[in-house]
């Protein structure tokens, strides 16, 4: 067997596990690992400006394609603690990323040495496994177990902490015979599928709630096949958006109390049976559970056994990988269709499709300052179905889900549960690394942007071009809106008179100057008719200069976006669409919307892009 340092063995294992990229920041306690990276030369390293940024880049990288695992690397002490938010975000959304940190020598772990912290203990609650390696010979096996854990069952992150003396120690290791451990995923049985189909057949108005587990299992095509076989409408969750194309005849719209469509909420409230696949009944999806559950039968399929019953007890639960479950469901559904045993769902599906046509929100406003709805309308015009959207939290994200269109899995990349401000800018960089040919569009509010805007320099340095649509109202908009319940507008204003810029008009930070100072290009828009030309210019600038391009849109200071506490109590703050010209880029747009003519004539497949699979 070959003799090598444990750090060299670690890098060799990464390569055999399929790792080609890493994101990180070097430091004294991790330098032996970086030396091994340098000697190996096969892993491309992207230098972050902040360790938290590197963890979000790793997340974006993983989320972009099936099988990807993002790797973030940092030194001892604050590097690991800075990564905690990224690990939490990944854990919450079932995203596998590997964090590798340096550590003080083993003999000094208990001596409060410089930049020494028990990072394994700190990271344990937000990882599937966090470990400090105490013996050099255990490094290969520890990483082998790490990759196995990240891929097995419910995916998630792992942190491996390497003391500097462990990295430097020499070990005997045969990389040529190394193989990744076989992945284990629970699978539904024929009996499970029969029971699920029985329950669906007993229902008059069933729906499928499609969660992020379908994306993780790379099973979107099977979801669509099952929906088409049975004629059951689909309601994606925020994490499952794109599992069925927005223009598919069985796409009923998203349901929820924030990130949702009016049609999706109405359809779920009209349903009498809900089949959830790879979802977790998130609070922003369900809202008030009494309203969500009353009068409905629930079936829950999830890869994690303890997820069944966590939020509420379903009528029937199946522990299974989403792909394996859907394959069983499809097999049984095919047999029942051939035997004439599947109910005819066309009337129910048509009813759901009509809601898509008649329950749109208005997007076309000519107001100055600009209303945010108009921004998303113009984005729909400029960006096609291949666009990868990246967003995190805030009114900008909520409005994006209400007005944008997504046609394919992994085209909407979002940290759904943790929602950390600052996530968007670095996560989009990870997406660019994973898919260099993609059109990547990040959607930021001004505060989200300001949290980690330094990472734009990474895009400039490494030529990672993408467009950032920065909607600026100089407010913590979502918090301001929620403070209405307390009759206050307190500590949420970002506005001030900028002494160094005459262009901000009291909106505070000059984001154009910041972006340009970090080596990027930037445009500012104040008129609604200038949004589309600015977005088109941004596409050209990214192609020409191969750097991020910021399109800052100056919004009206106060906009309330539709939301509520229950599916039947959503407050609409702006006018709804009553004419085609009110929502000209709505995916379900039809001339019948304005005239209220015979809605039975409205086509169920609105657009040819429904053939995205």
DSSP state letters, 83-137: HHHHHHHHHHTT--EEEEEEE--GGGTTTT-TT---HHHHHGGGSSEEEE--SGG
Angle of helix 6-16 relative to helix 31-40, nearest 10 degrees, comes to 50
Q: Which CATH superfamily is domain 2-177 in?
A: Thiamin diphosphate (ThDP)-binding fold, Pyr/PP domains (3.40.50.970)
Q: What tokens were used for 447?
A: 């505060």
CB neighbour class for 267 (10 Å; exposed up to 12, middle 13-18, buried from 19)? buried
pLDDT at 207: 98
The torsion angle over the Cα atoms of residues 428, 432, 434 and 437, rounded to 10 degrees, is: 140
Residue 131 and residue 109: Cα distance in Å, rounded?
Answer: 13
Does 1.10.150.120 match the CATH number of domain 190-358? no
Asked whether residue 612 carries a pLDDT value surpassing 60, the answer given is no
pLDDT at 598: 43
User: pLDDT tens digits for 56-108?
Assistant: 999 999 999 999 999 999 999 999 999 999 999 999 999 999 999 999 999 88
Question: Checking phi first, is residue 91 left (phi over 0); if not, alpha (psi -120 to 50) or beta?
Answer: alpha
Mean of per-residue pLDDT scores for the chain: 93
pLDDT at 479: 81
Selection from 89, 123, 127 nearest residue 103 by Cα: 123
What SS3 state is found at 160? strand
What SS3 state is found at 110? coil
The rounded Cα 74 to chain-centroid distance in angstroms is: 24
Specify the DSSP class assigned to residue 561: P
Residue spans per domain, the chain: 2-177, 190-358, 372-561
What is the dihedral sign for C-alpha 51, 53, 57, 63?
positive
pLDDT at 609: 28
Selection from 209, 194, 203, 196 nearest residue 343 by Cα: 203
Decide if 2-177 and 372-561 have a common fold: yes
Q: What tokens were used for 247?
A: 């223009």
Residue 554 near residue 583, CB atoms below 8 Å: no
pLDDT at 595: 34
Does 3.40.50.970 match the CATH number of domain 372-561? yes
Provide the 10 A C-beta neighbour count for residue 536: 13
pLDDT at 589: 52
What SS3 state is found at 580? helix
**Which residue in the block uniquely carries the two structure tokens 């500012």?**
524
């Amino acid at each position: 067997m070959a003799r090598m340092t444990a750090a060299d063995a670690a890098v060799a294992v990464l390569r055999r596990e399929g790792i080609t990229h890493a994101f990180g920041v070097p430091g004294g306690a991790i330098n032996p690992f970086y030396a091994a990276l340098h000697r190996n030369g096969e892993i491309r390293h992207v230098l972050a400006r902040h360790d938290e940024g590197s963890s979000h880049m790793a997340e974006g990288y993983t989320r972009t394609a099936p099988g990807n695992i993002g790797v973030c690397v940092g030194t001892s002490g604050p590097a690991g603690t800075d990564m905690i938010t990224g690990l939490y975000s990944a854990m919450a959304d079932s995203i596998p990323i590997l964090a590798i940190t340096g550590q003080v020598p083993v003999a000094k772990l208990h001596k409060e040495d410089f930049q020494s912290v028990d990072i394994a203990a700190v990271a344990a609650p937000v990882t599937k496994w966090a470990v400090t390696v105490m013996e050099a010979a255990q490094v290969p096996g520890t990483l082998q177990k790490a990759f196995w854990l990240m891929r097995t069952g419910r995916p998630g992150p792992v942190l491996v902490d390497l003391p500097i003396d462990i990295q430097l120690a020499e070990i005997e290791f045969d990389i040529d015979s190394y193989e990744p451990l076989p992945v284990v995923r629970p699978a539904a049985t024929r009996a499970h599928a029969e029971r699920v189909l029985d329950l669906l057949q007993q229902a008059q108005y069933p729906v499928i709630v499609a969660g992020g587990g379908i994306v993780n299992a790379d099973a979107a095509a099977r979801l669509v096949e099952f929906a088409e076989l049975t004629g059951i409408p689909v309601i994606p969750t925020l994490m499952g958006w794109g599992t069925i194309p927005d223009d598919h005849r069985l796409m009923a719209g998203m349901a929820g109390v924030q990130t949702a469509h009016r049609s999706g909420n109405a359809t779920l409230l009209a349903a009498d049976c809900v089949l959830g696949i790879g979802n977790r009944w998130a609070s922003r999806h369900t809202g008030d559970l009494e309203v969500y559950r009353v009068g409905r039968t629930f079936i829950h399929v999830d890869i994690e056994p303890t997820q069944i019953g966590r939020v509420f007890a379903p009528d029937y639960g199946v522990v299974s990988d989403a792909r394996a479950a859907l394959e069983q469901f499809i097999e049984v559904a095919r047999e029942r269709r051939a035997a004439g045993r599947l109910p005819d769902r066309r009337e129910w599906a048509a009813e759901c499709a009509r809601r898509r046509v008649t329950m749109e929100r208005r997007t076309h406003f000519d107001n100055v300052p600009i209303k945010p709805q108009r921004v998303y309308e113009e984005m729909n015009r400029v960006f096609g179905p291949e666009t990868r959207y990246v967003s995190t939290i805030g009114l900008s994200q909520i409005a994006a889900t209400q007005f944008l269109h997504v046609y394919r899995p992994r085209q909407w990349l979002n940290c759904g549960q943790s929602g950390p401000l600052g996530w968007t800018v670095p996560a989009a960089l990870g997406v660019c690394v994973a898919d260099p040919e993609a059109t990547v569009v990040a959607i930021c509010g001004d505060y989200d942007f300001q949290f980690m805007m330094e990472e734009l320099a990474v895009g400039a340095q490494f030529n990672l071009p993408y467009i950032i649509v920065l909607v600026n109202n100089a407010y913590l908009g979502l918090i301001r809106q929620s403070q209405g319940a307390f009759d206050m507008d307190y500590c949420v204003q970002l506005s001030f008179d900028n002494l160094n810029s005459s262009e901000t008009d009291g909106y505070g930070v000059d984001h154009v100057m910041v972006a340009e100072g970090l080596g990027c290009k930037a445009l500012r828009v104040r008129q609604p008719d200038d949004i589309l030309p600015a977005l088109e210019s941004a596409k050209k600038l990214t192609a020409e200069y191969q750097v991020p391009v910021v399109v800052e849109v100056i919004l009206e200071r106060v906009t309330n976006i539709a939301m509520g506490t229950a599916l039947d109590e959503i407050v609409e703050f702006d006018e709804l669409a009553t004419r085609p010209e009110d929502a000209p880029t709505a995916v379900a747009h039809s001339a019948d919307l304005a005239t209220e003519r015979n809605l039975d004539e409205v086509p169920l497949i609105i657009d040819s892009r429904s053939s995205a699979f």
